[in-house]
Amino acid sequence: MLDALDLVKSYGSTQAVRGVSFSVERGSAFALLGPNGAGKSTTLHMLVGALRPDGGTVRIDGDRDPADPQTRSLIGICPQDLAIYEELTAAENLAFFAEIQGLRGRKLAQRVDWGLQLAGLEARRTDRAEAFSGGMKRRLNLACAAVHEPKLLLCDEPTVGVDPQSRNHIFESIEALRADGCTLLYTTHYMEEAERLCDRVAIMDHGRVLAIDTVDALIDAHGGQAVVEVELAQAPASTDDLPGTLEGTTLRVETTEPLTAIETLGETLRRANLSICRLRVDRPDLERVFLSLTGRSLRD
Amino acid sequence: MRVVLIMALKDLRLLVRDRMSLFWVLAFPLLLALFFGSLFGGDSGERAAMPVVVVDESGGEGARLVERLRSSEGLEIDTVDALDDALELVRRGKRIAFVHIRPGFTDGGFAMFGRDPKASATLALGVDPARTAERGLLQGLVTQALFSGMTEQFADPSRMLAQTQQVRKDLDDATELESKQRERLLTLMDALDGLNAADGPLAGDRTSTDAEASRSGFSLEGLLEAVDVTRDDSGQPRSAFDITFPSSIVWGLMGCATAFATSMVHERRAGTLLRLRVAPIARAHVLASKGLACMLAGMGTSALLLTFGVLALGVRVGDPLLLLLALVCASACFTGIMLVMSVIGRTEAAVSGGSWVVMMPLAMIGGGMIPLIAMPPWLLAASHASPFRWAILAIEGAVWRDLSLTQMLPSLSILLALAVVLFGIGVAVMRRRDP
Ligand SMILES: Nc1ncnc2c1ncn2[C@@H]1O[C@H](COP(=O)(O)OP(=O)(O)OP(=O)(O)O)[C@@H](O)[C@H]1O
Ligand SMILES: [Mg+2]
C-alpha cells in the first residue's frame, strides 16, 4: 500500500531524515516509534506529498505518486497539531473536510454522523470546537482524518496530551477503522501504543530507521532476556551461592525462562535462610529494544 | 471550482465568528468614519460666521447696506460683480447664500412705503437648500441690516425729511393705493416730520433700536425676495462623511487583508493547511479560495459601511456601477497585500503586528486619516506611493467626485497592477519557500 525508499530531508543544516525506507502492507498497521525530533513527522509529511523530499521516492497503492491529487484522495491524515477550525462546530468541521474530498448530499450527511459517532461527539455536534476539551478536540481531529473513508490513514501522535479515557476512545476508534480494512501508519513515542495497535514497528532515531520488524521479532532480537528482580530483607552474608548480580539488597537475574528462574532462586534463598520483601519480573519490551539499540530511553 | 467556493465560504464563516477580526473589519472603520466625519463636519453649533456673497447692482445705493452686512457678526461677507458667479458659489456649496442688491434699490426703511407692490423686489436672498437650518437666521440678519438703514435715517433729520418728502411724492403717484390706506400713511409721515422737528434725532441706543427694528413686524413681502437655488453637487463632497466613508472602506479592506493573512498563517501553523494539501486539491485552489474569500469579505464590508453611510448620514453614491468597479479593483489590490503579508509573516502575531507597522504609515500618507483634499502639497505628492491613495481616489471617484470611467482609469489600473504584482510576489515567495 505504501513504499518509502531512501527518503532524505534537511532543514537548513538540520538533517531531519537521513535515508528512511520501509513498506506498509495493505490492511496492516505500521508504527514509526521514536523519541522527540526523530524525524517521524517529517517522514509523514513526505509520505503524503505535503513536503518534497530532498531525495528518495514515495509510492502509494502500487506506483502512484502522492503529489498527484487523485492519489491523495486515498489518504487521510491526522496531523500532530490539532488541525481543526476552532470557530466551527464539530459537525461543520467534519462536513468541511468531507466536502473538500468531494462528498455531498446524503453521503456527506451520513459521513458527518459517522464521524461524530467515531469521535463520541454526537451530543456536541452543534458546539464550536473551541468549547471542547483537549481530548474531545483530539477525537475530532482523528474523525476529520477518516471522514472520507481513506484507504490509508496516517496518524501523527494522535494521543498527545489526552486523558486516559480519551486515549482509550482513540485506540478503539483506530481499531474499528482497522477492522474496516483501513491501512494504518502510526507515529508515536509511546511503545505501548505501537505494541497494542500495530503489526510492524520501525524504530527511528536521529532521522534513521534502526530496525523494522514485528513487535515480537524486535523484542526477540533486541530486547534481551527477562529480568527477575528480588529485594532481599537483609544483605546476605555470602554471595557465593546466589545467581545473577547483587547491588546492596537488590538481586537481578536475567533469564529466558522467568518461572524456572524463580523456582531455583526460591530454593537457593530458603537454603541461605534469606527472606524477600519484593519480587518483580520485567519482560523485555520495545522500551528495552530502544534502549539496547540507542543506549538511551525513549522518553527523557 | 466548487472546492474553491467551499473553502472561501468556510473562511468567511470563520471571519464572521471571530469577534476580534470583525472589530477591525467593521467596527473600527465605522468608528473612524463617524469620528473624523463629525470632527471635520462642522455641523456643530459653534460654527464660525456664515459665508455670504453679495452682488451689488444698485449703482452705489447699496454700498451702505453692504457695509452694514459686513459689520453683522453672524456673517462673513465678500462681494462679486456678476450674479452668475454668486449663484454658482452657492450652488457649489462654497457660500451659504447670496444677497443680490438689484438696480433700483433704495436704502432705508421707507423704501417699503408707497412702493408699487407689483414692482419686483430690489433685494434678493438665495440660500443653499441644504442649509434650511440657517435660512431663518440669514433672513433675520439681512432684514436687520436693512432696517438699521432706517434707524440711521431717524438719526439724521435732513435725511429723514428728504425721505418723508420722497414718500409723500410716491404716495401721490401710487394711484392704485386705497385712499384710506393713503390717508393713514400720510398721517404717519406728518407725525414723523413733527417728531423730527420737535425732538431732534431719534436714535438713542443704536443696538437696541436695531433689534427693535428687525422685530417690529414690518412686512417684508415684495421687498426681500427669496430666490430658489438648486444645489449642484457634482464633483465635490456634500458633507465630511462623503470623505470619511471612502477612507473607512479602505480601512475595512485593510482589516480584511490583515484578517485573512493572519488566518492563512494560522492554518499553516495549526496543521489545517496540511489537511487541505493532503486533500485532492491543487495548491492554486487553496490560494484562490483565500483570495476569493478576502475579495468577498472586502466587498461585503464596503457594502455594509456604505449602506450605513447612505442610510444614516446622507452619503450619496454618484455612480453605483463605477463604485462596484472601484471596489472590485480596491479589494483585489488589498487581496494582493494580504497574500504578501501571509507569506512574509511566520506567526500570526508577526502578521498582525507587521501589518500595523507597514500599513499605518501607508494609510497616513495615503489619505486614510488626513483626507486627500485637505493634504498639503508635499504629503499629496508622497501619497502616490500608498495603495490607500489609489483605493480612496477610485472609491471617491464614484461616490462624490463624479468622475467618468476614463477619469477613473488611472487609479483603477494602478490598483489592478498592484494586485497583479503583489500576487506574483506572494506566489513566488511561497514557491521558493515551499516547493
Ligand atoms: N519546519 C522545520 N524547520 C526546521 N527544522 C525542522 C522543521 N520541522 C522539523 N525540524 C527539525 O527536524 C527534526 C525532526 O523533526 P520532526 O518534527 O520530524 O520530529 P518528530 O519525530 O516528529 O518529533 P516529535 O515527536 O517531537 O513530533 C527536528 O530536529 C526538528 O527540529
Ligand atoms: Mg512529530
In a domain, B295, yes or no: yes
Looking at the fold, whether B140 and B27 belong to one and the same domain comes out as no
Residue B371's Cα: distance from chain center in Å? 12
Q: Is the predicted pLDDT of residue B42 greater than 60, yes or no? A: no
d(CA B89, CA B80): 10
Q: Is the CB of A188 under 6 A from ligand 1?
A: no
Which range is most confident: A229-233, B181-185, B226-230? A229-233
Q: Which helix (H) or strand (E) holds A75?
A: strand A75-78
**pLDDT averaged over consecutive 10-residue blocks of chain A (300 residues)?**
94 93 94 93 92 92 86 92 95 96 94 95 94 94 95 94 90 93 94 91 94 91 88 82 85 89 90 89 87 80
Answer whether A69 sits within 8 Å of B280, measured CB to CB.
yes
The minimum CA-CA distance between B279 and chain A, rounded to whole Å, is 6
Report the pLDDT value the prediction gives residue A91, as an integer from 0 to 100: 96
Q: Which helix (H) or strand (E) holds B27?
A: none
The minimum CA-CA distance between B338 and chain A, rounded to whole Å, is 20
Answer whether B275 sits within 8 Å of A83, measured CB to CB.
yes
| Chain A residues interacting with chain B (CB cutoff of 8 angstroms) | 45, 48-50, 52, 69-70, 72-73, 75-77, 79-85, 87-88, 92, 96-97, 99-102, 128, 144-145
Taking the CA of residue A39 as reference, the ligand 1 atom at the shortest distance is 18
Mutate to test the interface with B, among A47, A85, A92 (most CBs of B within 10 A): A85
- Helices A105-119 and A164-179, packing angle to 10 deg: 140
Taking the CA of residue A204 as reference, the ligand 1 atom at the shortest distance is 21
Report the pLDDT value the prediction gives residue B214, as an integer from 0 to 100: 39
Task: Show the domain range for B414.
Answer: 2-41+240-433
Looking at the fold, whether B30 and B60 belong to one and the same domain comes out as no
Q: Is the predicted pLDDT of residue B183 greater than 90, yes or no? A: no
Q: Is the predicted pLDDT of residue B8 greater than 60, yes or no? A: yes
In three-state secondary structure terms, B50 is strand
Whose CA is closest to B336, among B267, B405, B428? B428
In a domain, B232, yes or no: no
**Residue B54, number of CB atoms within 10 A of its CB:** 22
Task: Using the 3D structure, point to which of B168, B196, B227 is the last residue of a domain.
Answer: B227
What average pLDDT does this structure show over B401-417? 92
In a domain, B102, yes or no: yes
What average pLDDT does this structure show over B398-426? 93
Question: Which residues from B are below 8 Å from A83, CB to CB?
Answer: 270-272, 274-275
Cα Rg of chain A, angstroms: 24
Count how many domains chain B has. 2
**Centroid of ligand 2 to alpha carbon of A80 (angstroms):** 6
For residues B265 and B168, the model is more confident at B265
Pocket of ligand 1, candidates A14, A17, A206, A290: which has the most ligand atoms within 8 Å of its Cβ, to mutate?
A14
In a domain, B235, yes or no: no
**Centroid of ligand 1 to alpha carbon of A39 (angstroms):** 6
Looking at the fold, whether B334 and B400 belong to one and the same domain comes out as yes
For residues B310 and B114, the model is more confident at B310
Which range is most confident: A210-214, B189-193, B280-284? A210-214
**Centroid of ligand 2 to alpha carbon of A119 (angstroms):** 22
Complete edge-to-edge strand list for the sheet that includes strand B224-227: B75-80, B50-56, B97-101, B123-127, B224-227
Looking at the fold, whether B152 and B132 belong to one and the same domain comes out as yes
Residues listed for chain A:
300
Whose CA is closest to A274, among A237, A221, A229? A237
Is B3 touching A (CB cutoff 8 A)? Answer: yes
Looking at the fold, whether B252 and B337 belong to one and the same domain comes out as yes
C-alpha torsion sign, points A173, A179, A181, A186: positive
For chain B, first and last CA: distance in Å? Answer: 23
Looking at the fold, whether B187 and B273 belong to one and the same domain comes out as no
For residue B80, give every residue at least 6 positions away whose Cβ sits within 8 Å of its Cβ, in sequence order, or none.
B53, B54, B55, B86, B89
Least confident of A118-132, B96-110, B336-350: B96-110
User: Atom 29, ligand 1: which residue's CA is nearest?
Assistant: A37
Torsion angle in degrees (nearest 10) through CA of B39, B43, B49, B50:
130
Residue pair B363/B369 in contact (Cβ under 8 Å)? The answer is yes
List every span in chain A annotated with CATH 3.40.50.300. Answer: 2-220
The grid coordinates listed for B418 are 498592484
Q: Is the predicted pLDDT of residue B46 greater than 50, yes or no? A: no
Task: Using the 3D structure, point to which of B162, B194, B227 is the last residue of a domain.
Answer: B227
Report the pLDDT value the prediction gives residue A161, as an integer from 0 to 100: 85
Looking at the fold, whether B214 and B281 belong to one and the same domain comes out as no
Question: Which residues from B are below 8 Å from A87, CB to CB?
Answer: 13-14, 17-18
d(CA B240, CA B237): 7
Least confident of A168-182, B231-245, B304-318: B231-245
Cα Rg of chain B, angstroms: 33
In a domain, B220, yes or no: yes
Which range is most confident: A18-27, B308-317, B365-374? A18-27
The grid coordinates listed for A208 are 534513521
Looking at the fold, whether B254 and B374 belong to one and the same domain comes out as yes
Give Dmax (Cα) for chain B: 110
Residue pair A195/A179 in contact (Cβ under 8 Å)? The answer is no
**Residue A257, number of CB atoms within 10 A of its CB:** 12
Reported in sequence order, the residue ranges of B81-222 that DSSP labels E, i.e. its strands, are 97-101, 123-127
CATH number at residue B100: 3.40.1710
Looking at the fold, whether B122 and B185 belong to one and the same domain comes out as yes
Looking at the fold, whether B345 and B308 belong to one and the same domain comes out as yes
User: Above pLDDT 90, what percent of chain B?
Assistant: 35
In a domain, B210, yes or no: yes
Answer whether A87 sits within 8 Å of B278, measured CB to CB.
no
Amino acid at A88: L
Whose CA is closest to A8, among A67, A48, A58, A69? A58
Pocket of ligand 1, candidates A11, A45, A54, A190: which has the most ligand atoms within 8 Å of its Cβ, to mutate?
A11
Answer whether A99 sits within 8 Å of B13, measured CB to CB.
no
Taking the CA of residue A34 as reference, the ligand 1 atom at the shortest distance is 21
The cell 503489526 sits on which residue?
A199
Report the pLDDT value the prediction gives residue A225, as an integer from 0 to 100: 86
What average pLDDT does this structure show over B37-63? 75
Please name the member of B14, B274, B282 whose beta carbon is closest to the beta carbon of A83. B274
Least confident of A31-45, B338-352, B415-429: B338-352
| Helix locations, A180-257, DSSP H | 191-197, 215-222
Report the pLDDT value the prediction gives residue B221, as an integer from 0 to 100: 53
Sorting pLDDT into bands at 50, 70 and 90, what band is B410?
very high
d(CA B273, CA B265): 9
Residue B382: which region, alpha, beta or left (left: phi > 0; alpha: psi -120 to 50)?
Answer: alpha
Sorting pLDDT into bands at 50, 70 and 90, what band is B112?
low
Q: Is the predicted pLDDT of residue B374 greater than 90, yes or no? A: no
In a domain, B263, yes or no: yes
Task: Using the 3D structure, point to which of B179, B202, B227 is the last residue of a domain.
Answer: B227
For residue B185, give every residue at least 6 positions away whose Cβ sits within 8 Å of its Cβ, in sequence order, or none.
B113, B114, B167, B171
What average pLDDT does this structure show over B24-46? 77
Sorting pLDDT into bands at 50, 70 and 90, what band is B115?
low
pTM (two decimals): 0.76
Looking at the fold, whether B181 and B246 belong to one and the same domain comes out as no
In a domain, B157, yes or no: yes
Task: For A2-220, give the CATH class.
Answer: alpha beta
For residues B174 and A14, the model is more confident at A14
Q: Is the CB of A50 under 6 A from ligand 1?
A: no
Q: Is the predicted pLDDT of residue B122 greater than 50, yes or no? A: yes
Q: Which helix (H) or strand (E) holds A155?
A: strand A152-156
Looking at the fold, whether B278 and B418 belong to one and the same domain comes out as yes
Residue pair B96/B131 in contact (Cβ under 8 Å)? The answer is yes
